Chain A
Amino acid sequence: MKKLSVSLVAMLVLLSLFGSLVMADNHGEMAKVRVLHASPDAPAVDVYVNGDLTLEEVPFKTDSGYLEVPAGTHDVEVFAAGTEYAAGEGVLQADLEVEAGKAYTVAAANLLESIEFVVAEDSMEVTEGQAKIRVGHLSPDAPAVDVGIIGGDALFSGAEFPGITDYAEVAPDTYDLEIRLPDGTQVLPLEGTELAADTVYSVFAVNTVDSLEVIALVDYEAAASPDEMPTTGLGTPQQPQSMWLLIGGALVLIAASGFVWRKRFQ
């Protein structure tokens, strides 16, 4: 807990530095990126973006939430937590290209000896009143699976490691879902899954096949926004009429003196 508060302070310091930069950019040029640790035997990791320590001690099965990053290409490098940074020495490195206004999941997947990035673009929209869901197969030794209604149709078929499916849009409701082998053998039940309206979900199957489990994340929830900011002042300051009188008076004086001058030089 102590560690957390220390890093919170660090965050606030960074935040104040960041804040002005981000603001100067006017958020239009920003992209969203979240990092997910999905490598079952890898230790907690530190993530460096362009050489800066950006995420600290991310344990397995944890995600960072979306971070705002400028659009463009970023050097993302992963180190075992606490390792001193040296460019190119990380367990995993990628030049990640992100576009303005888009969102991405960057998962560190597979076993440590062959750890790899799995990158997917995340949806930031959903048809009004509908729910959206996709699945990611990030269990390195698990076979291809289907995800579907128990005793019913598959929503996703043949998801293979290391892949993230497209989204499927469904009516908001409670579903008895399961992860199963294509022959119908259940791998993991997900009964009573409540999918809410206006919400986009990603469900990742992680860990090794003998201890397969699921990480669920919300990618997006839709809500309305106005076109314009509010007008939050009821008062109308007094028109500074005295100011105008002064300026007017000054003008009259200048005009008058000009008149005098001209008169003198005629």
Chain B
Amino acid sequence: MSLRSEEVGFAVKAEPAWTEQPEPAEKVKEIKPTETPAKQAPNPINELNQPGIAPEALAIPSIGLEADITHLGVTDTGEMAVPDNGDELSWFSPGYRPGQRGRAVIAGHVDDLDGPAVFWDLTELEPGDEILVSGEDRELRFKVHKMESVPLDLADVDSVFGYHSSPELVLITCSGTYDYDRGTREERLIVYASLSEE
């Protein structure tokens, strides 16, 4: 089946290659020998288990980016927290995990006191570019499918950090001109990527 819409990530429904393997083995053991073999079909509800990973590092080969990821939550003012340096990325850890259904969000600075920072080149991404996220001894492959630069006041935070029926990765950095009154750039560049079917 194919789908013509925004939800390109739908194809991910097929069981990804990285789904944890040990579990079914355990379940087989639990089945009592008295039961008929026909009933050993995997439980379709358990097939839905898709926990994702706690990300440790991110790479975007097309723009030569490699960076470590820290796990952060919110600031005192309710913003998504970001690293205190221009080299690292932060994953919004109270939100969705990369590889879990929903939008996992990773942010990085566009610049720091010395000039360009880790996400300076994010604007150069093209649809189809790969983003590799690794952690827990696994690597997940995402493909960029949408980019938008949104004025800060119009950003739909609930949607950007929200549920999605397939795993998505969202990268955020600052863009637009600097607003001296607010002490930040006027826009946010938001990159949406879907988990690739491997």
Q: Which residues from chain A sit less than 8 Å from chain B, CB to CB?
A: 3-4, 7-8, 10-12, 14-16, 18-19, 22-23, 26-28, 34, 44, 53-59, 62-68, 124, 189-196, 201, 203, 213-218, 220-237, 239
Query: By the criterion CB–CB under 8 Å, are A229 and B3 in contact?
Result: no
CA distance in complex: A10, B4 (Å): 7
The 6 A-B residue pairs with the shortest CB-CB distance, nearest first, are: A227-B78, A225-B161, A224-B94, A7-B2, A235-B111, A230-B80
Query: By the criterion CB–CB under 8 Å, are B2 and A15 in contact?
Result: no
Q: A63-B13, A234-B85 are in contact. List 13 more A-B contacts (CB 8 A).
A: A12-B127, A15-B6, A56-B2, A59-B1, A67-B7, A189-B39, A193-B43, A226-B78, A226-B161, A227-B74, A227-B79, A234-B109, A235-B117
Query: By the criterion CB–CB under 8 Å, are B82 and A18 in contact?
Result: no
Residue B98 is within 8 A (CB to CB) of chain A in the complex: no
Residue B10 is within 8 A (CB to CB) of chain A in the complex: yes
B contact residues, range: 35 or more
Picked from A55, A65, A213, A229, the residue with its CB within 8 Å of the CB of B4 is A55
Residue B134 is within 8 A (CB to CB) of chain A in the complex: no
B184 to chain A, nearest CB (A): 5
Picked from B45, B115, B150, B180, the residue with its CB within 8 Å of the CB of A190 is B45
Residue B159 is within 8 A (CB to CB) of chain A in the complex: yes
Residue B71 is within 8 A (CB to CB) of chain A in the complex: no
Residue B152 is within 8 A (CB to CB) of chain A in the complex: yes
A186 to chain B, nearest CB (A): 10
Query: By the criterion CB–CB under 8 Å, are A19 and B174 in contact?
Result: no
Picked from B27, B84, B108, B163, the residue with its CB within 8 Å of the CB of A221 is B163
CA distance in complex: A236, B183 (Å): 8
Query: By the criterion CB–CB under 8 Å, are A221 and B145 in contact?
Result: no
Query: By the criterion CB–CB under 8 Å, are B145 and A226 in contact?
Result: no
Q: Which residues from chain B sit less than 8 Å from chain A, CB to CB?
A: 1-11, 13, 27, 30-31, 39, 43-49, 73-74, 77-82, 84-86, 90, 92, 94-96, 100-102, 107-113, 115, 117, 119, 127-128, 145-146, 148, 150, 152, 154-166, 172-174, 178, 180, 183-185, 188
When A and B form their complex, what is the total count of cross-chain residue pairs whose Cβ atoms lie within 8 Å? 219
CA distance in complex: A63, B172 (Å): 30
Query: Given contacts A231-B184, A235-B112, is CB(A23)–CB(B148) below 8 Å?
Result: yes
Picked from A57, A201, A218, A236, the residue with its CB within 8 Å of the CB of B2 is A57
A145 to chain B, nearest CB (A): 16
Query: By the criterion CB–CB under 8 Å, are A8 and B8 in contact?
Result: yes
CA distance in complex: A34, B84 (Å): 41
Query: Given contacts A15-B5, A124-B163, is CB(A191)–CB(B43) below 8 Å?
Result: yes
Residue among B30, B43, B161, B173 with the most chain A CB within 10 A?
B43
CA distance in complex: A183, B178 (Å): 70
Query: Given contacts A201-B45, A229-B172, is CB(A223)–CB(B160) below 8 Å?
Result: no
B159: chain A residues at CB < 8 Å are 27
A-B contacts, 27 listed (Cβ < 8 Å): A4-B2, A7-B2, A15-B6, A19-B6, A23-B148, A54-B3, A56-B4, A57-B1, A58-B1, A65-B166, A201-B45, A220-B163, A221-B102, A223-B95, A224-B95, A225-B157, A226-B73, A226-B92, A227-B79, A229-B160, A230-B81, A230-B188, A231-B82, A232-B172, A233-B109, A233-B185, A235-B117
